[in-house]
């Protein structure tokens, strides 16, 4: 006999342990993106072409998979389009394009560390836009993060690091904050696969307008790229970064936001720059000066302090 309770749709119950596992896995995927893609840029692809290939291939794979196996997830109500468009332009196209411009002009570790000032931006959004009062110790964390960022960028040298690269990295930080905030809001009403698929399609349209596929150098795609001890063709690196560091990373990351608030997810996501730095050192031979390494530690400590003293949910 079917009771009234059993006929109701099951209630989703967030599971913190599952969310932590998912965000750590997503961080591993995201953290590998710069290291995989930079050899392609060194081989001759522009940052815009890399972002276009990465997002375009990921969009094709996700649209095909969702269309074949979960077509219902692609249905969108009219009132959902503003969120999806914002997520696609900011959390997909903006963050990837800005990051690849930065990674092409800066060491991968520095580019991704600057991107991960996004927890500080989330805290500022919480205080001044959502009017949530924050504890004083949180502002100490913000100050530490900014100090660490200044040490990483070595601002006392007159921005010896590439200025365009630094601006692009700052743009990726803003878009990364949008990724967490828009993603947290979106998965409260949509399944992660549907949201990621539409976000990737919208992002692909935006980046392909800047770097259309027919402008990609075909001969270069088959040329070998230096990737540690290996020399894979450029196209293989693009497929890897599209499927592993983009499609899977976004799906797993949004799934984590169903179980964790943006405040917790963003601090656990700080594993990503550590992965990027280690893989860039192991495979690309990139290093940081001791003052930059110290600044990186201070930046991460400040961002951690911000998150530990932020409200549980924004």
pTM for the full predicted model: 0.82
The tens-digit pLDDT sequence of the chain (314 residues) is 444 444 454 566 778 788 888 988 998 898 888 889 889 988 888 888 888 999 999 999 999 999 999 999 999 999 999 999 999 999 999 998 898 788 778 876 677 778 888 888 887 887 788 787 777 887 888 788 888 877 876 666 655 678 888 899 999 999 999 999 999 899 988 999 999 999 999 999 999 998 898 888 888 899 999 887 888 999 999 999 999 999 999 999 999 989 887 767 777 777 777 777 777 777 777 776 788 788 878 877 887 787 677 655 44
Q: Where are the domains of the chain?
A: 16-222+229-308
Query: Can you give the three-state secondary structure of the chain, one letter per residue?
Result: CCCCCCCCCCCCCCCHHHHHHHHHHHHHHHHCHHHHHHHHHHHCCCHHHHHHHHHHHHHHHHHHHHHHHCHHHHCCCHHHHHHHHHHHHHHHHHHHHHHHHHHHHCCHHHHHHHHCCHHHHHHHHHHHCCCCCCCHHHHHHHHHHHHHHHHHHCHHHCCCCCHHHHHHHHHHHHHHHHHHHHHHHHCCCCCHHHHHHHHHHHHHHHHHHHCCHHHCCHHHHCCECCECCECCEHHHHHHHHHHHHHHHHHHHHHHHCCCCCHHHHHHHCCHHHHHHHHHHHHHHCCCCCHHHHHHHHHHHHHHHHHHHCCCCCC
């Amino acid at each position: 006999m079917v009771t009234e309770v059993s006929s109701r749709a099951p209630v989703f119950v967030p599971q913190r342990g599952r969310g932590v596992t998912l965000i750590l896995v997503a961080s591993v995927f995201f953290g590998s993106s710069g290291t995989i893609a930079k050899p392609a840029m060194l081989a001759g692809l522009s940052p815009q072409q890399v972002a276009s290939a990465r997002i375009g291939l990921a969009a094709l794979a996700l649209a095909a998979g969702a269309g074949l196996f979960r077509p219902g997830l692609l249905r969108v109500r009219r009132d959902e389009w503003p969120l999806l468009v914002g997520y696609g332009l900011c959390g997909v196209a903006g963050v990837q394009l800005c990051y690849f411009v930065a990674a092409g002009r800066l060491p991968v570790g520095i580019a991704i560390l600057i991107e991960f000032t996004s927890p500080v931006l989330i805290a500022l959004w919480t205080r001044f836009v959502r009017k949530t009062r924050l504890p004083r110790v949180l502002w100490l964390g913000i100050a530490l993060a900014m100090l660490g960022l200044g040490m990483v960028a070595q601002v006392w040298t007159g921005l010896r690091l590439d200025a365009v690269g630094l601006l692009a990295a700052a743009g990726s930080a803003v878009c990364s904050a949008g990724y967490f905030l828009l993603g947290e809001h979106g998965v409260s009403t949509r399944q992660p696969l549907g949201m990621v698929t539409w976000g990737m399609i919208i992002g692909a349209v935006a980046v392909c307008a800047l770097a259309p596929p027919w402008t990609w150098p075909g001969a270069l795609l088959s040329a070998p790229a230096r990737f540690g001890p290996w020399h894979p063709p450029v196209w293989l690196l693009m497929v890897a970064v599209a499927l592993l560091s983009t499609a899977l990373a976004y799906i797993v990351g949004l799934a984590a936001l169903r179980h964790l608030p943006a405040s917790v997810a963003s601090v656990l996501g700080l594993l990503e720059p550590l992965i990027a730095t280690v893989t860039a050192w192991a495979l690309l031979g990139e290093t940081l000066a001791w003052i930059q390494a110290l600044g990186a530690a201070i930046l991460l400590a400040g961002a951690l302090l911000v998150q530990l003293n932020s409200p549980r949910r924004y």
